[in-house]
Amino acid sequence: MHSSANRGRGVCLARLFPIAAFTVLTLRLCSGDEYGSVNLIRNSSFECGTVGWQGYLPWAVGIGYSLPRLHGEVVRADDAPHGEMVLRLKANAARATLKPLWLSANAVEPLMASTGWIRLCAGKTYTLSAFMRSDGDAVAKIAVYHPSGHYYEHQCRVSKSWQRYQLTFEALDEPTLVVIGPCSYGNQAGEASVFVDAAQLECNSTPSPYKPRSQFEFFVASDAPGNVWMRASDMNLCLVGYNDGEDAEITVDARVTNYQNAVVSRRKMNIKISKASKTLIPLSDLLPKAFGFYRVSVHAYDNSQQLLGIADARFALLRVFDGVDSPFGLDGVYACGNLMLLAKRAGVLWRKVRLRGLDEFELVGENDNADAKVDWVLKFGLHGLLSISTSALPDARKSVTEMMADVGCTEAVNAGLIAQFVESKVKLYRTRITAFELLYNEPQHVVCSQAHSHQVSNYIELLKVAYKSAKGLCRDCLFLGGVRACRIETAREFAKGFIAAGGLKFADALALEICLAQSSPEMLEQLIKESIAQMDAQDKRKPIWVTIWWSHTGGDAYGRLPESFEDELADGARYVRLAAILLSHGVSKIFHSNGHELPKGHFGGLFFEPDGAPKMALSVQAALASLLTSSPLPLGSLNLGSDGRCYVFRTKKGVTAVAWLVDGGAENADVHLPLGRYIKAYDIMGNEIKSSKVKLSSVPIFLTSTARDLRSFASVVRSYRHQSSSRRRH
């Protein structure tokens, strides 16, 4: 028998997806001593089905790579080590679907993981164990993974009869995931299936006799992908529970809260659960009919009112976007088709697909998976932007440093090689993609003694060759030129030199990719204003595409995503404000980053939790796209005083405005806008506000009217009242 126990640094996938028919939709941090449990794993014997477990790809970097489903099924087994149900896992079926989106077989090792991070006591010894058997020659692993990338794992050749396998380790001062499944190194797993039952994580140096986490286990679950609905009539949730002990009666208190954390519905139930049985309790009558983001929280108590456990779930009802184009996009793709469709329904119709660079492969294009990703984008009726950066351009015989030096400062580039490279890519994708960008990659990373103007001029020469090659093959394609920078200051310096040197002659639009979160939206707005003013001064206005922008708050330089509902609402408000500001300045497309690839501190993406449940931003994005429609035309802004902002757009249905108070003025200002026959207001989730007037705050609202221009719209709202309990900001 082969076995090994390893501790090392790896890549921890920070994007996971719900699994099988019922999907648990909670991401909770489970404390080791919660409810006095010995076993820290929920649904560890799979009597509730697959809830509490999700797919996991340990070597897939980035949050977009989600498993569409757990590659397994819960089946009944007469010889199960505990209860009646066991989990059957088979790697090959999932691997065939997922491999085109990755670059090597090692990346496609779909395992299963416990849903939610588990807190351990740092320095103490823990043992993870599970019963496994196989129906063939199979190698499996049991492991624990941490957000930092540290992991412990134990590999073993699985017996054809049930045996218990274990991993003992010393806990780190960070949460962990339990990971189990067949290995796919080479052909070790073959066609065999691995059966798993009675998993246990305990604070002990050796495994104790198996016990479930508690006598009563329950989960809030749904049959809808991501727990997101487009029609209120389709919404459904249920409580899935299992009683591992004697007949019992419990009390369940279920409540639903909205995006403002206000309770919108509540119900208490007394439930009788028979011995060793599973129960399903519908919760449909709790679900609201208004658009937006919601959370359902269920507390269970025994007859003495002692808390038995808590189950949480996120869900959303989207105001659906139905256009064929929109101003909004995301970087990369989700491997899960359901997530692609849900983002599309929220108006995210563009995806940025990057060509791999020389820093990752010896030869450009070798093992490049862009082709599969482009086909994946088109499969869902989305638009693709193929991104080529200076780090992805050949000379294949040179290192990245040498190549960057060629482009940036010391030598003339090989124009023929560049033309051949771009021509090959345009020729390959021209029938599938109409937008391409060639970015000057990280100019602050190019170390050279030449002046900045020399770097820009060399890039323009490169862009000129690429632009002519692309247009020669596809005259109607959009070819963007611009910069990929970590800081706005770097992007501003580059854009200024690029425009001044006439670089826009060889680009249909200016592309700006800002790839770190430490730059503020106000700085980005200033960059856009300066670039437009500079173009207008030369009478050479071109569109601007922001092809990556961080939309997240969180307090660190790497875009750590929000960890509370208050943070998510602040993020949603910030998201809408930034979009309104950029679109008002004539920005054509806004591509948002979906999260950072660094595993540390990463708990999901912009729109989805790691288990695929919706974040508040998904509902916000859906309302924004639906009310602005496909191609909003900026008309200008209304003067609401120093504390107010109101940006107005012409849409297919009339005029839509986005209004709010700046953060500093929102606390003390009292600004109301009148509503009536000719104007309607909608909250940030897209629901109409039924009132004769609406009070502004830092959370934006939408105003719609059948007016066709700024003047007529302004006449409707000109009677607004502005009262402030403090001096206006200057």
Note the pLDDT tens digit of each residue in 407-416.
Answer: 443 334 466 7
b or e along 5-16 (b: 16 or more beta carbons within 10 Å of the residue's beta carbon)?
eeeeebbbbbbb
Phi, psi (deg, nearest 5) at residue 576: -65, -45
pLDDT value at residue 185? 53
How far, CA to CA in Å, does 189 sit from each of 89, 122, 162, 180, 184? 11, 34, 18, 14, 6
Is the pLDDT higher at 111 or at 461? 461
CB count in 10 Å sphere of residue 615? 23
The answer to whether residue 544 scores a pLDDT higher than 50 is yes
The answer to whether residue 519 scores a pLDDT higher than 70 is no
**Beta carbons within 8 Å of 639's beta carbon, 6+ residues apart:** none
DSSP state of 632: P
Condensed to tens digits (0 to 9), the pLDDT of residues 123-169 reads 999 999 999 999 988 889 999 988 777 889 999 999 999 999 999 99
pLDDT value at residue 579? 94
Is the pLDDT higher at 600 or at 566? 566
DSSP state of 12: -
Residues 636, 51 contacting (CB under 8 angstroms)? no
Beta bridge partners of residue 152, listed in sequence order: 7, 144
Residues 61, 602 contacting (CB under 8 angstroms)? no
Phi, psi (deg, nearest 5) at residue 155: -105, 145
Beta bridge partners of residue 221, listed in sequence order: 238
Is the pLDDT higher at 582 or at 676? 582
**Beta carbons within 8 Å of 360's beta carbon, 6+ residues apart:** none
Condensed to tens digits (0 to 9), the pLDDT of residues 84-93 reads 999 998 766 5
Residue 94 burial (C-beta neighbours within 10 Å; 0-12, 13-18, 19+): buried
Reference 24, options 44, 47, 50; nearest CA is 50
Q: Look at 424-438, 485-499, 594-608 and tell me which has the smallest mean pLDDT.
A: 594-608
User: Looking at residues 299-308, what average pLDDT do you find?
Assistant: 89
- Find the helix or strand (DSSP H, E) in which 495 lies: helix 488-500
pLDDT value at residue 303? 87
d(C-alpha 357, C-alpha 343), whole Å:
27
**Which pLDDT band holds residue 396 (cuts at 50, 70, 90)?**
very low
Q: What does the mean pLDDT of the chain come to? A: 79
How far, CA to CA in Å, does 179 sit from each of 201, 307, 311? 11, 28, 21
d(C-alpha 314, C-alpha 222), whole Å:
10
Residues 259, 292 contacting (CB under 8 angstroms)? yes
Q: CA end-to-end span of the chain, whole Å? A: 75
The answer to whether residue 196 scores a pLDDT higher than 90 is yes
Residues 227, 313 contacting (CB under 8 angstroms)? yes
Is the pLDDT higher at 181 or at 18? 181
DSSP state of 593: P
Q: Concatenated DSSP letters for 703-714?
A: EEES--SHHHHH
Determine the length of the chain: 730
Angle, helices 616-628/337-345, rounded to nearest 10 degrees: 50
CA angle 64–68–73, rounded 5-degree value: 145
DSSP state of 55: E
d(C-alpha 713, C-alpha 717), whole Å:
7
Reference 354, options 433, 458, 455; nearest CA is 433
pLDDT value at residue 565? 78
**Which pLDDT band holds residue 116 (cuts at 50, 70, 90)?**
confident
Reference 481, options 98, 314, 471; nearest CA is 471
What does the H/E/C string look like for 400-448? Answer: HHHHHHHHHCCCCCCHHHHHHHHHHHHHHHCCCCCEEEEEEECHHHCCC
pLDDT value at residue 289? 93
pLDDT value at residue 662? 85
The answer to whether residue 335 scores a pLDDT higher than 50 is yes
Residues 704, 680 contacting (CB under 8 angstroms)? yes
DSSP state of 286: G
In the chain, the amino acid numbered 118 is: I
Q: Look at 3-17, 361-375, 489-503 and tell me which has the smallest mean pLDDT.
A: 3-17
User: Looking at residues 472-477, what average pLDDT do you find?
Assistant: 92
Q: What percent of the chain has pLDDT over 90?
A: 44
Strand order in the sheet with 263-273: 228-229, 307-317, 292-301, 248-257, 263-273
The answer to whether residue 5 scores a pLDDT higher than 70 is no
Range of 17-21, 232-236, 354-358, 409-413 with top mean pLDDT: 232-236
Tracing tokens 């998510």 back to the chain, one arrives at: 568
Q: Look at 14-28, 199-213, 314-328 and tell me which has the smallest mean pLDDT.
A: 14-28
d(C-alpha 583, C-alpha 645), whole Å:
14
**Beta carbons within 8 Å of 204's beta carbon, 6+ residues apart:** 125, 126, 127
In the chain, the amino acid numbered 240 is: V
User: Looking at residues 511-530, what average pLDDT do you find?
Assistant: 81
The answer to whether residue 105 scores a pLDDT higher than 60 is no
Q: Hey, what are 332's tokens?
A: 């990369």
How far, CA to CA in Å, does 677 sit from each of 260, 304, 621, 660, 719? 28, 56, 27, 22, 14
CB count in 10 Å sphere of residue 718? 10
How far, CA to CA in Å, does 37 sit from each of 32, 41, 212, 213? 7, 9, 9, 6
**Which pLDDT band holds residue 399 (cuts at 50, 70, 90)?**
very low
